[in-house]
Amino acid sequence: MCSIAARERLKYMCCRCCSKTQQKIWVFGTASIFLVMGLVGIILGRSYFTDMVYKMLPLKEGGRTYDKWVETPVPIYMAMYLYNWTNTDQVKVRGVKPNFERVGPYVFREERHKKNITWYPNNTVSFMPQRYWYFEPEMSGGTLEDNITCPHLPTIAASTIARDFPKVIKIFFNIALNSNGGALYQTHTADEWLFKGFYDEFLDYAMKLNNSMTGDIKDNHFAWFLHRNGSADFEGIFTINTGAADLREMGELKFWNGVNHTGFFEGECGRVNGSTSDLFVPNRGPEEWITIFMKDTCRIINLVPSARETILGIEGIRYETKPDTYDSGTLNPDMKCYCPPELMPDNCPKHGATDIRSCADGAPMFMSHPGFLYADPSYANTTTGTRADPDKDVFFITMEPKLGVPLDVNVAIQISLHITPDSDITLLKGIPSFYAPLFTINSIGKMTPEIAKEVKLALNLADIFFYTSIAMLCLGILIASIGIYVQIAQKWYEPIGDERTIMDNH
């Protein structure tokens, strides 16, 4: 140690307490450490931290992705629009088109959970989705007590099944329909149409018959989402890849209810694939598509990159549906398999709407963009009152492609019912053929500032370390330069006393 007097005299010049050899060791040793750390960081830092981030992404119990997958942290809202049939009294007046007014939105906050999670050794995991919906009156454009007049789906569905029956049987069917609650339309509250449900006389009658004409009716109440709120088994069992072996497969759907083909559409159109919209493949190329599997319509939806957007400081790619999304071979021959076999080859639906009757127990229902956006005019021209709004009816997902994190989502679809006349069925006699819009779903999700901070940190971690490494390299060069200058100029501090004595004291 330096003497007390020396320390008092040179208390701010610690280097003078050291020998020249020690000063050189400290200066050049420190410079070497910064130089090595800086060089290693510049050469290996980016790839190391990028790999570190990607290693955290695969789905595993207790991992960084797991908690956000089990219960979605981003607020999701389902905006439901219903269509009020305003001129039902004129349905049989020649030349008058049915008029439907879009009513709503009725906005529900959606909570998503995963139940019965089971892990498998082949890097897959199965689960049952559970969703809860809570009405948000402040965000809605109507109340759940609004009265809405809609086509009576049970009547139309049963009439469609009976359409090709022998005339004698259709006569008895018509009598039964008119005597047991059959109707072309009914009026109920928005709550009853959506979740609450209402007693339906015709369904009660059909449930008691339980024959080939009525099908397997399990409930005498009706609603578009009857028994869905809080159900853990309605959507079935999904099996997805965890990405543990191959990150390019993370979130990819492998099986739905244990099979890899829905059976509702033929060939590739019925194959189970894509994302369940909870996880997406990271490190996606700028030209790659996004594929989503939608259980309710038994089919996939492809979205293609359309533009770049910056949301909360994060750059993402906007993926959208396109005019041939709901094609049946008219615009894209590869989508011919969406045409029902009984309508091939010459009577397939025109582009813009998918016939989903095979997924809807035979009811002539169609899936499309809201307002028949991008569709052949023959769909929308059968009715009046509502037209597409390109600003809110577009189906898109804006995603950060490196991590596969959605930034802004608007899943917009419309379900319609094709109603056609039938001279043997009183309720359908003399009416025009038209596509009646039933409801539109807009599933909306936006990145929160809290989640955005985590995403930006993960995205910038490699850059932060890279520029820190540059700073360390520069600092190492600066310290080494100073040491070289001092060495050449022989300006090292002269040690106090004999070096050997000082070293011994140390």
pLDDT at 9: 42
Helix (H, G, I), strand (E, B) or coil at 412: strand
Cβ neighbours for 40, distance < 8 A, ≥ 6 positions apart:
469
Q: What's the whole-model pTM score?
A: 0.83
Dmax over Cα atoms in the chain, in whole Å?
124
Query: Which token pair is 491?
Result: 């300006």
198 backbone dihedrals φ, ψ, rounded to 5°? -145, 150
Distance CA 245, CA 60 (A): 12
In DSSP terms, which residues pair with 110 in a beta bridge?
A: 76, 133
Count CB neighbours of 54 within 10 A: 17
Q: Residue length, the chain?
A: 506
CB 422 within 8 A of CB 163: yes
Count CB neighbours of 360 within 10 A: 20
Closest to 454 measured CA to CA, from 397, 401, 396, 403: 403
In DSSP terms, which residues pair with 187 in a beta bridge?
A: 149
Euclidean distance between the first and the last CA atom of the chain, given in angstroms as a whole number = 4
pLDDT at 300: 92
38 backbone dihedrals φ, ψ, rounded to 5°? -65, -45
CB 119 within 8 A of CB 59: no
Distance CA 192, CA 223 (A): 6
pLDDT at 33: 76
Residues 379/382/385/389 CA torsion (nearest 10 deg): 10
Residue at 319: amino acid letter: Y
pLDDT at 382: 94
Helix spans in 332-416 (H) = 377-380
Quick one: CA dihedral 112, 113, 117, 122, positive or negative?
A: positive
Burial pattern 471-480, b for ≥16 Cβ within 10 A else e, equals ebbebbeebb
Burial class (CB in 10 A: 0-12, 13-18, 19+), 134: exposed
Residue at 304: amino acid letter: V
Per DSSP, 259 falls in state B
Query: Which token pair is 219?
Result: 């409930």
Closest to 474 measured CA to CA, from 24, 39, 49, 23: 39
Number of H helices, E strands in the chain: 10, 17
Residue at 139: amino acid letter: M
Query: Which token pair is 471?
Result: 């700073």
Per DSSP, 423 falls in state T
Count CB neighbours of 387 within 10 A: 13
What DSSP letter does each residue of 42-108 carry, written as one string? HHHHHHHHHHHHHHH-S--TTSTTHHHHHB--S-EEEEEEEEEE--GGGTTSTTPPPBEEEEEEEEE
CB 64 within 8 A of CB 56: yes
CB 430 within 8 A of CB 347: no
Low-confidence ranges of the chain (pLDDT < 70): 1-18, 20, 23-24, 26-29, 31, 34, 38-50, 210-216, 461-467, 469, 473, 479-480, 483, 485-487, 489-506
Residue at 255: amino acid letter: F
